[in-house]
């Protein structure tokens, strides 16, 4: 029992301790010239859907939830955003070559079609990021058109 108590204390101290460890926050006010919305002629409704449902993890600016103040949640999110940006960063859209743009658009279409994006773990808390069937359709139609125009 004593051992248990000691372990409990150690873990508690560790958990409190990690709260003081800094994380890189993915935040920027700057909208680069290469941003998807800047270089493409995106209709307002589609811009709003993509910004709400995709930009938190796929741009340089995340609208953080309150629980991001708590570790280890913050680390989890940090890792998540980092990976998301690596795959696709809408802020850097125009720095991709046509070949890469085509690949990214293809992946965007297939991920949305198959309900793989936005991630369930994300929409669970960000209810407004969920895509309804009609939203899915207008986004897919528009993105397909953009892809064909490349």
Partner 1 sequence: MKKVKVSTGILAMAVIALSATSCKDTKKEGNSTDGVQSEHMDDNGHMGDGMDDHSDMDHDNMQSSESMMSTNEHSMMSSKIVGDYLELKNALVADDKGAAAKAGGTMVASLNDFDTSSFPSGQQEELKDIIEDAKEHAEHIEKSPIDHQREHFDVLSKDVIDLIAITGTERTLYQDFCPMYNDSKGAQWLSATEEIENPYYGSKMMTCGSVQKQIN
Estimate the crossing angle of helix 133-149 against helix 98-113, to 10 degrees. Answer: 160
Q: Does 141 bind partner 1 (CB under 8 A)?
A: no
The interface mask with partner 1, positions 22-61, x = CB under 8 A, is ----------------------------------------
**CB-wise, 7 or 48, nearer to partner 1?**
7
**CB-wise, 111 or 123, nearer to partner 1?**
111
* Distance in angstroms (rounded) separating the CA atoms of residues 142 and 76: 32
* Distance in angstroms (rounded) separating the CA atoms of residues 83 and 77: 10
* Distance in angstroms (rounded) separating the CA atoms of residues 134 and 127: 16
Q: Does 69 bind partner 1 (CB under 8 A)?
A: no
Stretch that binds partner 1, among 4-12, 58-66, 119-127, 131-139 (CB under 8 A): 4-12
Q: Does 97 bind partner 1 (CB under 8 A)?
A: yes
Residue in 51, 47, 68 with CA at minimum distance from that of residue 60: 51
Residues in region 103-132 near partner 1 by CB under 8 A: 103, 106-107, 110
* Distance in angstroms (rounded) separating the CA atoms of residues 148 and 102: 9
Say which residues have a Cβ less than 8 Å from residue 6's Cβ, sequence separation at least 6: none
| Contact set with partner 1 (CB under 8 A) | 1, 4-5, 7-8, 11-12, 14-15, 18, 72, 75-76, 79, 83, 97, 99-100, 102-103, 106-107, 110
């Amino acid at each position: 029992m004593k051992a248990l108590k000691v372990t409990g204390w150690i873990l508690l101290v560790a958990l409190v301790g990690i709260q003081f460890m800094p994380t890189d926050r993915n935040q920027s006010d700057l909208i680069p010239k290469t941003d998807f919305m800047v270089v493409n002629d995106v209709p307002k409704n589609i811009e709003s859907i993509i910004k709400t449902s995709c930009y938190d993890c796929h741009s340089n600016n995340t609208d953080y939830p309150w629980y991001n103040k708590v570790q280890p949640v913050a680390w989890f999110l940090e890792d998540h955003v980092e990976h998301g940006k690596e795959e696709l960063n809408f802020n850097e859209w125009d720095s991709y070559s046509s070949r890469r743009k085509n690949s990214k658009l293809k992946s965007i279409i297939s991920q949305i079609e198959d309900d793989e994006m936005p991630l369930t773990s994300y929409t669970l808390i960000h209810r407004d990021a969920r895509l309804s069937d009609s939203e899915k359709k207008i986004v897919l139609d528009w993105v397909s058109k953009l892809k064909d125009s490349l």
